[in-house]
């Protein structure tokens, strides 16, 4: 506590007639908790009265807060920005980029923004707690289809949320409180191995104490481990919650086929397991809204009650608007009404009311036929560029005779590819070639361009041949 003594020596010790020079004091430096402000005076000078001393507090109430580990994907972007190398490539963050490596504001979004600005009837009043009604209904419709019997039976509802993460969070909070009883902290929640890193954190933060992995990725064959997946479904306790990726699995880019989805649904139905879909890439994965929503719609057709967290960050390019929706498919309208009443309570203490701008952009687009068609064309433009980059990367690696198989690059879909590169190879790419990707080997295909794809392919070849 030398610094403390140095600060208060003139103030505290001279009035007490303590003439010991500070330089002669032997003060032991320690990381142990400090005594009180006057406690260390009593230790050093037991014969001195300290009752009249009132020293100001010298310790922050936040002194014991530990430094958190940075969020990996955002730390990667930060490292990329600080890198001065002219050949650097960012294959990490999950956002679309043009062939010039630039963000793309969808033309239809520009058009709708102008419509909103010029609409003098709009104001900044609070939205309903559950969100903009026309957004919620249209978002659920593109997930389930306009002709969905569940919608026609009035047993589908939506909650506008802050992005897909917000939808997962509100759904998790509700399930912890009300799924299969009043307190479900011990109900197992299964997430795929591997999965998007936030899945584990969101459900744990909501109070679930048993978040487990289920088998998904076959590393040896670089594809879906269907047998392992089905085995975990069979062995899971009844009423367990399973988080399923609706399409474009993150991070592997590997989805079940329609036949495999049917097998998964059969087991989940028989075992009374709850389905929580995460749909972050509808339309962006294949270029088709219908194809990318097939799994969700099939499960609904089989009578499942389920949740579906939807994000409009990727397919609308509205990353910083945080536009999400939680679609709820209930057994009947009475159940839906009660569910939404409790959702309202949870939202009220979380963000109270959602913002309008992003939701209004999506609602106007989805509810205006000509804008809806233009949006689908915009989404297909993004999806097609990703497919082109997949084909070109695979071809270039094969032309280089890069060791291993690279067929999985075009067999996977969506924004990401699980390359199969190991952590040492990833580190080599980062340190030696200035190519930034996740330690798992996941790359964002949107980071590839006609200008850098040769460099990336040659660098991957170098990493694979030099680093084991």
Same domain? For 20 and 98 the reply is no
Q: By the 8 A CB rule, do 91 and 79 touch?
A: no
Higher pLDDT, 344 or 4: 344
Residue 70's pLDDT band (cuts 50, 70, 90): confident
DSSP string, 65-134: PPPPPPPHHHHHHHHHHH---TT-EE--S-----TTS-----HHHHHHHHHHHH-TT---PPPPTT--HH
Residue 372 lies in a domain: no
What rounded mean pLDDT belongs to the chain? 90
Same domain? For 256 and 219 the reply is yes
C-alpha torsion angle, residues 203, 208, 212, 216 (rounded to 10): -30
Residue 286 lies in a domain: yes
The number of folded domains in the chain is: 3
**Residue with the two structure tokens 């910083």:** 320
Residue 184's pLDDT band (cuts 50, 70, 90): confident
pLDDT exceeds cutoff 50 at 28: no
Give the CATH number for residue 413.
3.90.1150.10
Residue 319 lies in a domain: yes
Listed residues 367, 397, 415: the one ending a domain:
367
Please count the CA atoms within 13 angstroms of the CA of 372 that sit on its side-chain side: 11
Residue 420 lies in a domain: yes
CA distance 10 to 14: 6
Q: Percent of the chain beyond pLDDT 90?
A: 78
In this prediction, residues 433-443 reach a mean pLDDT of 92
Same domain? For 312 and 330 the reply is yes
181: helix, strand or coil = coil
In this prediction, residues 182-206 reach a mean pLDDT of 94
pLDDT exceeds cutoff 50 at 22: no
Listed residues 367, 397, 430: the one ending a domain:
367
Listed residues 33, 62, 91: the one ending a domain:
62
Residue 40's pLDDT band (cuts 50, 70, 90): low
Same domain? For 150 and 226 the reply is yes
Residue 339 lies in a domain: yes
Active site residues: 196, 278, 314
Same domain? For 262 and 407 the reply is no
pLDDT exceeds cutoff 60 at 225: yes
Question: Which of 165, 164, 184 is closest to 175 using CA atoms?
Answer: 184
How much is the CA Rg of the chain, to the nearest whole Å? 28
Same domain? For 166 and 259 the reply is yes
Same domain? For 359 and 282 the reply is yes
pLDDT value for 112: 98
Supply φ then ψ for residue 307, to 5 degrees.
-115, 150
Residues of the domain holding 20: 1-62
pLDDT value for 53: 53
Q: By the 8 A CB rule, do 364 and 371 touch?
A: yes
Residue 374 lies in a domain: no
pLDDT exceeds cutoff 50 at 14: no
Residue 378 lies in a domain: no
pLDDT value for 306: 98
Residue 229 lies in a domain: yes
pLDDT value for 220: 86
pLDDT value for 72: 84
């Amino acid at each position: 506590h030398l610094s403390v003594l140095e600060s208060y020596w003139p103030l505290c010790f001279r009035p007490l007639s303590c003439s010991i020079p500070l330089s002669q004091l032997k003060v032991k430096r320690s990381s142990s908790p400090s005594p009180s402000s006057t406690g260390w005076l009593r230790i050093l000078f037991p014969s001195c009265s300290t009752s009249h001393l009132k020293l100001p507090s010298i310790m922050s109430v936040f002194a014991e807060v530990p430094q958190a580990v940075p969020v990996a994907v955002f730390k990667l972007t930060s490292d990329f920005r600080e890198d001065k190398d002219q050949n650097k490539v960012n294959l990490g963050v999950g956002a679309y980029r043009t062939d010039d490596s630039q963000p793309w504001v969808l033309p239809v979004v520009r058009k709708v923004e102008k419509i909103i600005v010029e609409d003098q009837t709009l104001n900044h009043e609070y939205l309903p707690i559950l969100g903009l009604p026309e957004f919620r209904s249209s978002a659920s419709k593109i997930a389930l289809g306009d002709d969905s019997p569940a919608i026609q039976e009035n047993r589908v509802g939506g909650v506008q949320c802050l992005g897909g993460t917000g939808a997962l969070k509100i759904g998790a909070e509700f399930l912890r409180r009300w799924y299969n009883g009043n307190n479900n902290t011990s109900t197992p929640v299964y997430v795929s191995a591997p999965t998007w890193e936030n899945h584990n954190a969101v459900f744990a933060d909501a109070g679930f104490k048993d978040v487990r992995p289920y088998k998904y990725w076959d590393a040896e064959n670089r594809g879906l481990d269907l047998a392992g997946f089905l085995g975990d479904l069979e062995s899971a306790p009844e009423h367990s919650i399973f988080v399923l990726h609706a399409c474009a699995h993150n991070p592997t880019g590997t989805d079940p086929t329609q036949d495999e989805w049917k097998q998964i649904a059969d087991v989940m139905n028989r075992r009374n397991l709850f389905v929580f879909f995460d749909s972050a890439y509808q339309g962006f994965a294949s270029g088709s809204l219908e194809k990318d929503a097939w799994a969700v719609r099939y499960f609904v057709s089989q009578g499942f009650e389920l949740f579906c967290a939807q994000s409009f960050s990727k397919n609308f390019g509205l990353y910083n608007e945080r536009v999400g929706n939680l679609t709820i498919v209930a057994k009947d309208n009475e159940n839906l009404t009660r569910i939404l009443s409790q959702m309202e309570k949870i939202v009220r203490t979380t963000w109270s009311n959602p913002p309008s701008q992003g939701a209004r952009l999506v609602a106007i687009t989805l509810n205006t036929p000509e804008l809806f068609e233009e949006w689908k064309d915009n989404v297909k433009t993004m999806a097609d560029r990703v497919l082109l980059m997949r084909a070109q990367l695979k071809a270039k690696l094969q032309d280089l005779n890069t060791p291993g198989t690279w067929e999985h690059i075009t067999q996977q879909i969506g924004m990401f590819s699980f390359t199969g590169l190991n952590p040492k190879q990833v580190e080599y790419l980062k340190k030696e070639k200035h190519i930034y990707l996740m330690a798992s080997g996941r790359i964002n295909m949107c980071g590839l361009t006609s200008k850098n794809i040769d460099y990336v392919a040659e660098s991957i070849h170098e990493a694979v041949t030099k680093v084991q």
